[in-house]
Structure 1
């Protein structure tokens, strides 16, 4: 048995945002937002597309959008890639969803709260250990709530969730485990079957229940994400290499004097491992000739890797 990856946009929408997903989404949101308590009793899954009302303003495409029983709107985004300005995009989507509730003649009293639930496959807050973080408007010194604190941001950072199946004790644990690990499973774990909504989610995620068109779309999105992640990783490695080579060039110049353009090029063409090696060997090199000898010994195959 194979399951589609809930972290892929298409799969996430299929599982949580389709016509058959209402009970699944209720259970999921209660787990993510209310510690498994049945606060949400009913909801309506609505069109996640947010058109710009002002000519030229930016359109927005969310993964899932729902209006729950108390009138709140919840927008959900599953984000795999740590792209620039993602945090700003979260704020933009939340503020836009809040503002678009009103037409020109509507009174502000009609505004209802918005919760932006963001699930990330990377760490948003690397200095914090909590898997779930919540943000709302508060006074900065005494931390009391703004009277109309109607926009809330919730983040679930999947890399920080490291529980095994045997450690899953809460509904929240089980749903986070589902999102993070389903694509790596071959059968539905017994502990997950105990929750009817999660069992139903596994049924939707079973790739044998998807049409060929759906499978093709899923494969296309997975390939795109892999390409984008590869490009990000390459850019990161190249930036790291460039920074190291520039630092070593400055240090070597201070230590043994001006370096010729040819020697500078040889240093810049070293791979990361040999740049580290040169950094370690730097204080044993006392002249340009010592550096040239070192480069001759270490430059072979140095460009095979970044």
Structure 2
């Protein structure tokens, strides 16, 4: 078997899930996602930004996400994140807000706004629990009453799929194992559990892309950009941490000097009080305030 491309690469991910000819693949994945979240299944979707052959990942600033619309007009955004760019929660809310507010044209009513769903599939751990699939809505803290159902955010953390929690009977798990990366053994394990037609099709598309020279080169270009971007972000983060530590150390030294000077003044003032010198002389000699000197006198007494 040809060495397979990594389906977590957003270029490959969009080729598999975001093409018109593979719309059934995306629909099946979304339905397993919503089924796992206890929600209604979809019957039809329309790709808002389908992958086209003229599209390439060479536009390095492009976000290769997948945007779809349901037959009810609800919007779904699916994004694969191979590397941790940090602040993903805020980034997700920012793009969700743009998608939600972008529905209305001038003069339209707020009642025309439709539900927006953001689905983040990430190759790193982000939430402090063991669940590989977390779903967030807007609810009241004490009663759990929903304010509205228009916001729905999913996080799927691929590294949380381990030998202890893998249930191959779970349809969503099988899809995420496919995305995790296909070795010969994992490929055979998926085939043993009779994958549904849509998952078989996704596996076939991945095989085809892996053997296509042009697709492989575009994959390499995109992977290199993603690695470089991740390295720059991590480098900037480490530099920021280093600078913060250095500034913290310097601040600590300065504060220590100030504390030492203050303690020295207190000791001198205490000795002068013992010698019976008047307050005006002590204040002038040490720089202490009258109230600070009064506190010292109380301590001395």
> Would you call these one fold, judging by a TM-score over 0.5?
yes
* Residue in structure 1 matched with residue 267 of structure 2 by the alignment: none
Structure-2 separation of matches of 1:229 and 1:133: 24
Moved more, 199-208 or 9-18: 199-208
Moved more, 222-231 or 113-122: 222-231
1:162 Cα deviation from its structure 2 partner:
1.0
Structure-2 separation of matches of 1:178 and 1:213: 22
* Residue in structure 1 matched with residue 123 of structure 2 by the alignment: 121
Structure-2 separation of matches of 1:7 and 1:95: 25
Structure-2 separation of matches of 1:216 and 1:63: 20
Q: Deviations over 1:38-77 (max 9, x none)?
A: 711111111279xxxxxxxxx9845101112332111011
Alpha-carbon spacing, 1:166–1:102, altered in 2? closer, same or farther (3 Å) = closer
1:234 Cα deviation from its structure 2 partner:
5.5
* Residue in structure 2 matched with residue 95 of structure 1 by the alignment: 97
Gaps of 5+ in 2: 52-60, 257-301
1:219 Cα deviation from its structure 2 partner:
0.5
* Residue in structure 2 matched with residue 149 of structure 1 by the alignment: 149
Q: Deviations over 1:129-179 (max 9, x none)?
A: 111111111112322100x33011111111111148984111011011111
Structure-2 separation of matches of 1:187 and 1:168: 13
1:200 Cα deviation from its structure 2 partner:
0.2
1:226 Cα deviation from its structure 2 partner:
2.8
Structure-2 separation of matches of 1:219 and 1:185: 24
Query: Does the 8 Å CA contact 1:60/1:93 hold for their aligned counterparts?
Result: no
Gaps of 5+ in 1: 50-58, 255-306
Moved more, 113-122 or 235-244: 235-244
Number of matched pairs: 241
* Residue in structure 2 matched with residue 224 of structure 1 by the alignment: 225
Structure-1 separation of matches of 2:139 and 2:115: 15
Query: Does the 8 Å CA contact 2:209/2:216 hold for their aligned counterparts?
Result: no
Query: Does the 8 Å CA contact 1:207/1:215 hold for their aligned counterparts?
Result: no
Match of 2:21, SS state, is coil
Alpha-carbon spacing, 1:186–1:175, altered in 2? closer, same or farther (3 Å) = closer
Alpha-carbon spacing, 1:34–1:69, altered in 2? closer, same or farther (3 Å) = farther
Query: Does the 8 Å CA contact 1:15/1:204 hold for their aligned counterparts?
Result: yes
* Residue in structure 2 matched with residue 134 of structure 1 by the alignment: 135
Alpha-carbon spacing, 1:102–1:187, altered in 2? closer, same or farther (3 Å) = same
Alpha-carbon spacing, 1:36–1:83, altered in 2? closer, same or farther (3 Å) = closer
Query: Does the 8 Å CA contact 1:48/1:61 hold for their aligned counterparts?
Result: no
Structure-2 separation of matches of 1:165 and 1:130: 9
Match of 1:21, SS state, is helix
How do 1:171-182 and structure 2 match up within 5 A?
171-182=171-182
Structure-2 separation of matches of 1:34 and 1:167: 15
Rg (Cα) greater in structure = 2
Match of 1:206, SS state, is helix
1:32 Cα deviation from its structure 2 partner:
1.5
Query: Does the 8 Å CA contact 2:5/2:209 hold for their aligned counterparts?
Result: no
Moved more, 218-227 or 95-104: 218-227
Match of 1:168, SS state, is coil
Moved more, 157-166 or 18-27: 157-166
Structure-2 separation of matches of 1:36 and 1:149: 14
TM-score (norm 2): 0.68
